[in-house]
């Protein structure tokens, strides 16, 4: 199979490309700037931009399957010019290039943030409405719009499948991701106070397994929620401490306080020239999407998310192997 992967150097992309190579597929990895996640791999790479539809047409020539992972992630309520340009118009360009090249299948990555977070006690699944309206953060709206573009194209004959993972965690997190940076901050004891709340976390390797099954077997026009396990921030920090043999923070601020402090944290990060890992938006996210069903993916894609403690252990072990853990901090031997 000839596969093209947009966003190939991202967290999911780095794991997906490795699995595609392992099973013998021919892979073209489309990267924007940072390609370190692909160093040493037997893969064809092309520098590209999803905002350039002519470049996408060239990249998709001869492709059997396009995996569209490229996106701009934002954890801010501030409007960022790249959010709509990449997540909406970029997706529109990918759809157009797939049509122009008669690509057999498009596998599009949406996000749990594209779906409305239901009230307490109700489960988010494939039938949950997509967000719509100015009250939702720009990132959420952009992912919902991108998903609508793909699903509308599917209704008009494009063979496309949509996947919507929750918060992705796991190895080969080269940049690293926002949550990867949180885990590293815990290892470096740089987080004195936690935030109450939690989220649904899913192992990147389980997401990739479902992605390959969806590319091969899913009916055209299908959508799958790829959730894992809901863990509180306190439980994540406690387990990280057990794995690394260091004390975890014991104080957790209420979400109301965290929301109020979020804008200040963003302002400080802008002044010192760093990307924030904590914002009002991320605090709000920790109170959303409490129950997310992956029943459809389990039934149709043999999707079985592994225990989250195993995911945390393997993530820290990978960080250790990359020399990213602080001196003297190592993973213990208890993986389960």
Is residue 133 domain-resident? yes
Is residue 280 domain-resident? no
Structurally, how many domains does the chain consist of? 1
Peptide bond into 326 cis (omega under 30): no
Is residue 117 domain-resident? yes
pLDDT in tens, 128-160: 999 999 889 999 999 999 999 999 999 999 999
Question: Residue 67 half-sphere exposure, CB side, CA atoms within 13 Å?
Answer: 33
Q: What is the pLDDT of residue 187?
A: 96
Is residue 159 domain-resident? yes
Element (H, E) at 202: strand 198-203
**Angle between helices 90-100 and 138-155 in degrees, nearest 10:** 20
| Residues in the chain where the model's pLDDT stays below 70 | 75, 77-79, 119-120, 253-285, 287
Is residue 336 domain-resident? no
Q: What is the pTM of this model?
A: 0.92
Is residue 241 domain-resident? no
CA distance to 15, 56, 58, per residue, from 61 (Å) = 23, 9, 6
Is residue 71 domain-resident? yes
Is residue 255 domain-resident? no
- CATH for 95: 3.40.50.720
Domain that holds residue 86: 2-175+200-229+290-305
Q: Are 99 and 132 in contact (CB under 8 A)?
A: no
């Amino acid at each position: 199979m000839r596969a093209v992967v947009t966003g190939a150097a991202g967290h999911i992309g780095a794991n997906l490309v490795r699995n595609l190579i392992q099973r013998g597929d021919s892979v073209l990895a489309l990267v924007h700037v940072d390609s370190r996640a692909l160093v040493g791999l037997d893969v064809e790479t092309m520098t590209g931009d999803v905002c350039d539809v002519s470049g996408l047409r060239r990249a998709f020539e001869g492709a059997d399957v396009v995996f569209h992972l490229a996106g701009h992630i934002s954890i801010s309520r501030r409007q960022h010019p790249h959010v709509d340009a990449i997540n909406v118009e970029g997706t529109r360009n990918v759809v157009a290039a797939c049509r122009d090249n008669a690509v057999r299948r498009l596998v599009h990555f949406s996000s749990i943030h594209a779906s409305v977070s239901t009230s307490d006690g109700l489960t988010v699944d494939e039938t949950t409405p997509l967000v719509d309206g100015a009250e939702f953060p720009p990132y959420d709206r952009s992912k919902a719009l991108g998903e609508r573009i793909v699903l509308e194209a599917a209704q008009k004959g494009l063979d496309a499948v949509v996947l919507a993972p929750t918060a992705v965690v796991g190895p080969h997190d080269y940049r690293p991701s926002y949550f990867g940076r949180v885990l590293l901050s815990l290892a470096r004891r740089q987080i004195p106070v936690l935030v109450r709340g939690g989220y649904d976390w899913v192992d990147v390797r389980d997401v990739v397994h479902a992605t390959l099954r969806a590319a091969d077997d899913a009916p055209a026009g299908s959508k799958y929620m790829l959730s894992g396990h809901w863990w509180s921030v306190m439980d994540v920090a406690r387990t990280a401490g057990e794995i690394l043999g260091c004390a975890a923070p014991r104080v957790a601020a209420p979400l109301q306080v965290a929301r109020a402090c979020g804008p200040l944290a963003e302002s400080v990060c802008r002044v010192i020239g760093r990307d924030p890992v904590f914002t009002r938006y991320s605090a709000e996210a920790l109170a959303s999407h409490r129950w997310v069903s992956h029943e459809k993916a389990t039934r149709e894609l043999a999707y079985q998310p592994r225990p989250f403690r195993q995911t945390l252990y393997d993530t820290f072990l990978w960080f250790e192997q990359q020399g990213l853990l602080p001196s003297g901090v190592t993973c213990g031997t208890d993986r389960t």
